[in-house]
């Protein structure tokens, strides 16, 4: 039951369309389903690290990240701004055929970095896990693993679903890919400014 609850939690954490969602959509349109999924999977990896810290109560790590929150937030905001400009200026012509210097690994790493520079995610997971009835003090290893694996499956399913749906309707959206790049880039820049 806890696995199912945490799976639903994983989907609901990923579903709101923020900078990662915009990147996933834009990269799916220009590079294909795998690029879109790996973009989302970078966020999944960062979420799993923070969910693990929250579930297992790694107090030393969470204290360090909390102390460095300002610096991480600044880095994340600057990185968002850079990524937004890069997306805004991206030309869509012939991008679907090749990676054009932007590798699948770099797509994965950019979103991992974006998510990892937001240490407040730990506290979000602590709050959400508590809401699911998870008690760090008395929880077993099996309970913690069930919780974390549920979040992993839920977040992964969401990014798989999003990249598949966007790819499925690609033909209808590709005509407006340049506009998608401009809108996505502009929104990511705005999110970077707001994060500062």
In a domain? residue 19? yes
In a domain? residue 190? no
In a domain? residue 180? no
Which has the closest alpha carbon to 4: 154, 130, 157?
A: 154
In a domain? residue 177? no
Work out the pLDDT band at 47, boundaries 50, 70, 90. confident
Who's near 150: CB < 8 A, 6+ residues apart? Answer: 2, 3, 4, 5, 6, 7, 9, 10
In a domain? residue 101? yes
- The CA distance from 92 to 29, in Å, is 9
Domain span including residue 30: 2-71+91-171
Report CA torsion sign: 29, 31, 33, 38: negative
List the Cα angle 48/148/137 in 5-degree steps. 110
Q: Which residue has the higher pLDDT, 37 or 17?
A: 37
Which has the closest alpha carbon to 4: 162, 173, 132?
A: 132
Q: Tell me the per-residue pLDDT of 146-193, one tens digit each, with 9 for 90 and over.
A: 888 988 999 999 999 989 989 888 777 655 667 766 776 777 677 677
In a domain? residue 47? yes
Which structure tokens are listed for 10? Answer: 């994983």
In a domain? residue 192? no
Which has the closest alpha carbon to 195: 111, 77, 81, 79?
A: 77
In a domain? residue 148? yes
Q: Which residue has the higher pLDDT, 42 or 100?
A: 42
Which residue pairs, CB below 8 angstroms and at least 24 apart, start in 66-71?
66/119, 66/122, 68/119, 69/119, 69/120
Q: Tell me the per-residue pLDDT of 133-148, one tens digit each, with 9 for 90 and over.
A: 665 555 677 878 888 8
List the Cα angle 57/46/116 in 5-degree steps. 95
Which structure tokens are listed for 42? Answer: 């970078």
Evaluate if residue 100 carries a pLDDT over 60: no
User: What's the total number of domains in the chain?
Assistant: 1
């Amino acid at each position: 039951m806890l696995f199912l609850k945490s799976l639903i939690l994983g989907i609901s954490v990923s579903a709101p369309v923020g900078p990662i969602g915009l990147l996933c959509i834009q990269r799916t349109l220009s590079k294909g389903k795998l690029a879109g999924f790996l973009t989302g999977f970078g966020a999944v990896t960062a979420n799993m690290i923070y969910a693990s810290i929250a579930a297992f109560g790694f107090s030393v790590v969470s204290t360090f990240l909390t102390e460095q929150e300002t610096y991480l937030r600044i880095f994340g905001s600057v990185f968002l701004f850079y990524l937004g400009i890069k997306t805004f200026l991206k030309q869509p012509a012939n991008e679907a055929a090749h990676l054009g210097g932007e590798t699948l690994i770099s797509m994965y790493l950019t979103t991992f970095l974006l998510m990892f520079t937001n240490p407040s995610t730990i506290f979000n997971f602590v709050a959400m896990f508590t809401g699911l009835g998870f008690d760090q003090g008395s929880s077993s290893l099996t309970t913690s693993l069930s919780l974390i694996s549920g979040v992993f499956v839920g977040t992964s399913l969401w990014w798989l679903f999003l990249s598949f749906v966007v790819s499925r309707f690609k033909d209808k959206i590709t005509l407006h890919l340049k506009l998608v790049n401009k809108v996505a880039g502009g929104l990511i820049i705005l999110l970077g400014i707001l994060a500062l």
